[in-house]
Structure 1
Amino acid sequence: MSLNDLIAARSYGELLIACFALCASLTVIGLVSGYAAERAAWKRGRKVFDVPLKRGQLRHEMIGTALFHLLFVPVLAGVLASGAMQFSSGWIAEIAGFFVPWYTFQLGYYAMHRAMHSKALFWMHRWHHESLVTTPMTGLSMHPAEAIGWIVMMLVPPVVLSHFGVLGAGGWLVFLAVHWSGNIAGHANAEIMPARSTRATTLLWSNPISYHSLHHARFDGHYGFVAATMDFLFGTEFPDWLAVHTRVFGGTPMKALKEKLAPKE
């Protein structure tokens, strides 16, 4: 029996349970590993902001994370139950199943993120920005309206790929796991990865964590999350982010949210 047949044979309730188990597992794994990596990085002197969390922040983040799951899980189960997401075999489908959702989300997120920072739409993004100093719990903490945007950007690309017969189950599951856990760990208040964050890798694949930490502290720049390509093209980078990154890896955290450094030559 193929994976598509296996899914088709399950009721919506069974798919709901399976999707909840998958998403909850990704969240728990992401949080445990994210907090462990954050604490280990602190011991190595790689804290980004030496600033206390807002009072009640963790409770606020837990509520936001729970609301995200309450929206995402039923929609994912519904998409699977409807047959709109059909998986294909072959290396092209597996590659497309990862990279197309990955980069379409990054492009879509930059546009949505900038829009949500407008006066007309910031009401839906204010929830996420209650976290001025981020924690791994910050990653999935958002207003339900913003969560709907995430759900659309995460599920429409695989449905479209499915329509053309190039959605690999393995590739898409890897995308989901990397995207999910990376978003959680990427909100740690520490540089948890090696220092090899060059301009090339930042543009194409992975920002240093301090890059996004500056967005939470300053608000008006760094709208991309995983890659800085759009920030670079549209001039929304902070000129001192490389200096901040160097300082954090040198063992000196930022002492204030609005602190700025001289741009690195």
Structure 2
Amino acid sequence: MDSLYLKMLPVFFVVSGLVKAVPVTVGWALGRTRLAERFRVYRRSLAPGQLRSEARAAVGVVLCDALLITAFRAAFERQIAPFSLGASLLTFAWMFVGFEVWFYVSHRLLHTRALYRFHAQHHVAQVTDPLTSLSFSMVERLVLMGGGFGLVILAMQVMPVTQVGIMAYILTNYALNVFGHGNTEWLPERFVASPAGRLFFTPTFHALHHARYQGHYGLFTPILDRWLGTAFDDYAEVHGLARRGLGLERIGERVRSAKQPASLVPTPTSTTGTA
């Protein structure tokens, strides 16, 4: 096992780096276009030192992932089922739904006073950028990866789990993470109120979490936030402003929601980190 681990580690280090670097690079290039500048959710500059801090964290994430993935593959390689389309689709669906639940619960716990220090690295970004998608403390990364591995191991007990299904989810996860952290609203104004928008997130959805800290804890869907009362009432309005080229300029700014009478709309304030 030790020999196998050492042989696999360099391979997974390179793979771990590439599957993260490609979407971040594409997201960064798209984010520098004039069209992206037009659709900014927050029309503010990044914080001083933000990119440097995120880059350091990203290197640690790549290494951490390589170590954990190598150990997982060395231990569970034989339990991976051969490819079939049905098993791969089922694996992907299980991972997508299961990780949404794991992420919401763990993310909300990491915003408690006792645990926020392990999540603070990710909130170096009040205004996000593609590199924010890789900015985590080692403790938080272990929590996220542990949830993913746990879902795979649990699924192996009751159904065939394929490598294609796992990799399809991992690639989807990385691509959507970069998309969600781009601070650019690419989706049309009508999306949020559509059936698809009730199921899936937008860049505005996650940009509001980074600016406001408390709320919008979901990963790629707003469903759990709606069900559990952690969705922002002005989400659709902020999304619409971004699409009209009128992104927010103040971090604590709230927009009057159709659900709120004017007297209940909070006065814009500057938001500082909360534990």
Give the TM-score normalised by structure 2: 0.87
> What is the deviation of 1:18?
2.0
User: Which of 82, 106, 111 in structure 2 is aligned with 1:112?
Assistant: 106
> What is the deviation of 1:132?
0.4
Match of residue 167 from structure 2:
173
Tell whether 2:128 aligns with 1:124: no
Deviations 1:70-117, CA, capped at 9 Å, x for gaps: 211111101111135523332331112211111111101100111111
Moved more, 158-167 or 121-130: 158-167
Deviations 1:129-170, CA, capped at 9 Å, x for gaps: 111000000011011110111111122212222333411221
- State how 1:100-249 maps to structure 2 within 5 Å: 100-195=94-189, 196-204=191-199, 206-249=200-243
Q: How far apart, CA to CA, are the structure 2 residues paired with 1:59 and 1:44?
A: 22
Match of residue 88 from structure 1:
82
8 Å CA contact 1:89, 1:168 repeated in 2? yes
Q: How far apart, CA to CA, are the structure 2 residues paired with 1:99 and 1:119?
A: 33
Call closer, same or farther: CA 1:163–1:17 in 2, change over 3 Å.
Answer: farther
Q: Which runs of 5+ in 1 are unaligned?
A: 1-7
Moved more, 121-130 or 42-51: 42-51
> What is the deviation of 1:260?
0.8
Call closer, same or farther: CA 1:128–1:12 in 2, change over 3 Å.
Answer: same
Q: How far apart, CA to CA, are the structure 1 residues paired with 2:252 and 2:37?
A: 24
Instruction: Answer 1 or 2: higher relative contact order, Cα 8 Å, separation at least 6.
Output: 1
User: Which of 71, 75, 78 in structure 2 is aligned with 1:78?
Assistant: 71
Q: How far apart, CA to CA, are the structure 2 residues paired with 1:169 and 1:19?
A: 14
Q: How far apart, CA to CA, are the structure 1 residues paired with 2:240 and 2:129?
A: 21
Tell whether 2:253 aligns with 1:259: yes
8 Å CA contact 2:216, 2:222 repeated in 1? yes
Q: How far apart, CA to CA, are the structure 1 residues paired with 2:76 and 2:34?
A: 44
Match of residue 20 from structure 2:
27
> Residue 134 of structure 2 aligns to a residue in which SS?
coil
Q: How far apart, CA to CA, are the structure 2 residues paired with 1:198 and 1:18?
A: 44
Give the TM-score normalised by structure 1: 0.90
Call closer, same or farther: CA 1:42–1:258 in 2, change over 3 Å.
Answer: farther
Which amino acid is 1:23 matched to? S
Tell whether 2:19 aligns with 1:15: no
Q: How far apart, CA to CA, are the structure 2 residues paired with 1:229 and 1:263?
A: 19
Q: How far apart, CA to CA, are the structure 1 residues paired with 2:36 and 2:71?
A: 44
Moved more, 35-44 or 182-191: 35-44
How many residues were matched structurally?
A: 256
> Residue 57 of structure 2 aligns to a residue in which SS?
helix
Call closer, same or farther: CA 1:213–1:41 in 2, change over 3 Å.
Answer: farther
Match of residue 5 from structure 1:
none
Identity across matched positions, percent: 24
Q: Which runs of 5+ in 2 are unaligned?
A: 260-275
Q: How far apart, CA to CA, are the structure 1 residues paired with 2:205 and 2:109?
A: 19
Which amino acid is 1:202 matched to? G
Q: How far apart, CA to CA, are the structure 1 residues paired with 2:32 and 2:133?
A: 17
